[in-house]
């Protein structure tokens, strides 16, 4: 615990670092922040959502040999006994990652976000004095045209990650290019547009030798190489699905991402929440044009629960109003109930014509038509624009396709289906 006494005002600020946990005090502060700063409604907020977003974590807390605890933490800012801000942090063997920060809007004049960043930098320096490897402070995504995100460039020296090569470049070297274009590549010329999302390998470039280490679940719960499975040579759809999945999985392996960073929730990709009834907007502001969801765009698509999927979009950059931030992406069912939060504060441009993001389908186990709802911010406007995709099906239990198609499923599929329903 750190304490800061202000002689002039007689105030006392306590800074407490603790493992991530749920308290009513934290949740109430989070709701106040989301409603006043991000214009959420109380109907959109729940204790379960808060826990999945900012408490639960795939990181297992553990102590190192250097008296440093690794895992997910909350750093609380307490002014004269009152909780006024919480920083959500991951402390990893090589870095501190800033996940989220929320504060009491009544104290906006204190610039708590900037102050917390300085405190986290100081914490990184202190831990570096104990461990030479822990020397990086990661602030997350940077969006040059968004005031809520571009303040990160004020902390120096800092670096930005090239979206093509995944090499780091000094921010001062990138700044001039960011002023000229909304999509910047620091390593060289901007490559031509591609249907492959940023961060993926081209599925067609993956050879069969690359896939020998990919396993799939077969009869009696056995894991077998996908290339040795009987369906591999017979099913073009299976081969294509495996290549698309591997284009991401192999990319993560080839670029040697630390496992603890890959496992991170990606801010809120796995935040499965039922917010309740949330009807779509019927009237959009006049500037809500030029944003088009390009996938899924064909009606009648069916996805399986648990599979990796993507949503892509294009933006007309010739219009006077061009969006600068995808503020939230969610999946809704046919009753207009929110089933899954896919992410928040996502960059609009992952390639010159638009963007894409990937996620795992994780909706409730029920047959329904679902659709994506995308909230988009346009600079200088206080009201977000809302766009919806075409509807699609989600198959809650993959082997149900045998039954719905009038075919006899394998015996192990029937057993699994019975266990699922019991």
Residue 241, H or E segment: helix 236-254
Asked if 76 and 86 count as a contact pair (C-beta separation under 8 A), the reply is yes
Q: How would residue 401 be classed by pLDDT, with cut points 50, 70 and 90? A: very low
Reduce the DSSP state of residue 36 to 3 states and report it.
helix
pLDDT at 282: 55
Give CA–CA dist 340/273, Å, rounded: 6
Beta strands in 271-336 (DSSP E): 291-295, 302-304, 308-315, 325-332
Range with the poorest average pLDDT among 165-169, 176-180, 248-252: 248-252
**Sequence-ordered strand ranges (E) for 80-177:** 82-91, 95-103, 136-138, 159-161, 168-170
In three-state secondary structure terms, 14 is strand
CB atoms closer than 10 angstroms to residue 102 = 22
Categorize the per-residue pLDDT at 414 as very low, low, confident or very high, splitting at 50, 70 and 90.
very low
Q: Which of 204, 228, 233 is nearest to 216 (CA)?
A: 228
Residue 405 has pLDDT above 70, yes or no: no
Instruction: Answer whether 350's CB lies under 8 Å from 309's CB.
Output: no
Residue among 276, 289, 287, 307 at smallest CA distance from 394: 307
For residues 141 and 72, the answer to whether their CB atoms sit within 8 Å is no
CA atoms of 82 and 7, how far apart (whole Å): 19
**Are 98 and 120 a contacting pair, CB within 8 Å?**
yes
**pLDDT tops 50 at residue 407:** no
| Bridge partner residues of 328 (DSSP) | 344, 375
- What pLDDT score was predicted for residue 1? 56
- pLDDT of 330-351, one tens digit each? 898 887 777 888 888 888 988 8
Q: Mean of the per-residue pLDDT values for the chain?
A: 77
36 near 44, Cβ under 8 Å? Answer: no
CB 45 within 8 A of CB 102: no
């Amino acid at each position: 615990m750190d304490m800061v006494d202000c002689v002039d005002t007689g105030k006392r600020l306590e800074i407490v670092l603790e493992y991530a946990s749920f308290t009513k005090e934290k949740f109430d502060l989070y709701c106040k922040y989301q409603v006043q700063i991000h214009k959420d409604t109380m109907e959109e907020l729940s204790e379960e959502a808060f826990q999945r977003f900012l408490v639960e974590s795939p990181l297992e807390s553990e102590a190192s040999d250097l008296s440093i605890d690794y895992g997910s933490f909350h750093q609380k800012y307490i002014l004269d006994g009152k909780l006024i801000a919480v920083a959500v942090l991951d402390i990893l063997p090589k870095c501190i990652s800033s996940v989220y920060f929320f504060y009491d809007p009544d104290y906006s004049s204190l610039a708590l976000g900037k102050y917390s960043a300085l405190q986290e930098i100081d914490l990184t320096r202190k831990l570096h004095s104990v461990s030479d490897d822990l020397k990086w402070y990661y602030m997350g995504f940077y969006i040059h045209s968004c005031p809520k995100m571009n303040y990160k460039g004020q902390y120096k020296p800092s670096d930005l990650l090239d979206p093509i090569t995944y090499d780091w470049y000094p921010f001062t070297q990138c700044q001039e290019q960011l002023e000229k274009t909304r999509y910047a590549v620091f390593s060289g010329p901007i490559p031509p547009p591609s249907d492959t999302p940023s961060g993926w390998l081209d599925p067609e470039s993956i050879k069969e030798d690359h896939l020998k280490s990919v396993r799939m679940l077969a009869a009696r719960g056995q894991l077998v190489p996908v290339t040795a499975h009987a369906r591999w040579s017979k099913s073009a759809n299976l081969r294509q699905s495996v290549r698309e999945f591997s284009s991401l999985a192999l990319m993560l392996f080839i670029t040697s991402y630390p496992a603890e960073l890959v496992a991170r929730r990606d801010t809120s990709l796995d935040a499965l929440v039922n917010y309740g009834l949330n009807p779509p907007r019927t009237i959009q502001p006049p500037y809500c044009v030029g944003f088009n969801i390009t996938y899924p765009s064909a009606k009648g698509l069916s996805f399986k629960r648990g599979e990796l999927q993507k949503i892509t979009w294009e933006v007309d950059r010739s219009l006077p109003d061009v969006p600068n931030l995808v503020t939230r992406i969610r999946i809704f069912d046919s009753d207009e109930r929110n089933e899954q939060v896919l992410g928040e504060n996502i960059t609009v441009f992952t390639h010159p014509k638009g963007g894409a993001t990937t996620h795992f389908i994780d909706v409730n186990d029920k047959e329904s038509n679902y659709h994506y709802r995308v909230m988009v911010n346009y600079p200088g406007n206080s009201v977000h624009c809302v766009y919806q995709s075409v509807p699609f099906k989600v198959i809650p239990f993959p082997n149900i396709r045998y039954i719905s198609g009038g075919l006899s499923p394998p015996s192990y599929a029937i057993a699994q289906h019975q266990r699922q329903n019991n």
